[in-house]
């Protein structure tokens, strides 16, 4: 009521006026908390997006490596089947050598030696493919472990962002501290993921 130069201030008007002009402890505490949480949330959201990308990349790598392992296992199996076929031919040539007349024994003996040599070459290839399959499996397992670390870090950062929102709404200092703790934990787990722990 300021009709004739007379104006009455209520207690809340004084606080609002102080807060608007940047004065007073009450306005600074909330404004500082709001700015701090907003900055923290922006940083954590950015870091979380990077962690999420890395988690997706390691999961894709794990699948690709597992696929490569399956291909190597199939090729190794094919080689072992080929090895078995040569073994059967060698056994039949050995039997034929025993049953053949003397003048034909040398022909079957040459076949036995050829099959034995071919089996050795096939065995080397099959064992190399089996070793490759194991290596691809191992690399896939490492990528999945790293993926789980990225996922844990991303989840912790998402929880920290949720705590930040609740802290803003409730103005509870313990929630703000919890937000920093959980965010720090997420960052540490992300660091472990980057270092392959």
Structure tokens at 142: 């490492």
Per the CB < 8 A criterion, the answer to whether 111 and 29 are in contact is no
Question: pLDDT digit string (tens) for 29-43?
Answer: 566 778 889 899 999
* pLDDT at site 32: 75
Question: pLDDT digit string (tens) for 53-89?
Answer: 999 999 999 999 999 999 999 999 999 999 999 999 9
- Distance between the two ends of the chain, CA-based, in angstroms? 69
Which backbone phi and psi does 73 adopt, to 5 degrees? -65, -40
User: What's the pTM?
Assistant: 0.69
* pLDDT at site 13: 44
The candidate with the shortest Cα–Cα distance to 161, out of 73, 82, 48, is 48
Question: How many Å apart are CA 75 and CA 31, to the nearest integer?
Answer: 66
Question: How many Å apart are CA 146 and CA 131, to the nearest integer?
Answer: 23
Per the CB < 8 A criterion, the answer to whether 51 and 190 are in contact is yes
Virtual torsion, Cα 35, 45, 164, 179, nearest 10 deg: -110
Structure tokens at 169: 């709404």
């Amino acid at each position: 009521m300021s009709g004739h130069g007379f104006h009455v201030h209520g207690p809340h008007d004084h606080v609002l006026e102080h807060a608007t002009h940047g004065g007073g402890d009450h306005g600074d505490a909330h404004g500082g908390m709001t700015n701090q949480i907003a900055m923290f949330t922006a940083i954590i959201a950015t870091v979380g997006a990077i962690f999420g990308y890395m988690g997706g990349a390691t999961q894709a790598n794990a699948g690709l490596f597992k696929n490569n392992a399956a291909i190597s296992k199939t090729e190794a199996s094919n080689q072992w089947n080929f090895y078995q076929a040569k073994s059967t031919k060698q056994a039949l040539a050995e039997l034929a050598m025993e049953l053949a007349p003397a003048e034909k024994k040398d022909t079957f003996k040459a076949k036995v030696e050829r099959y034995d040599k071919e089996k050795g070459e096939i065995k080397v290839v099959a064992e190399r493919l089996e070793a490759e399959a194991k290596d691809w499996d191992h690399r896939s397992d490492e990528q999945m472990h790293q993926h789980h670390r990225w996922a844990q870090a991303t989840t912790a950062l998402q929880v920290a962002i949720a705590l930040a929102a609740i802290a803003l709404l409730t103005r509870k200092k313990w929630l703000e501290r919890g937000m920093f703790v959980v965010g720090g934990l997420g960052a540490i787990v992300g660091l472990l993921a980057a270092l392959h722990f």
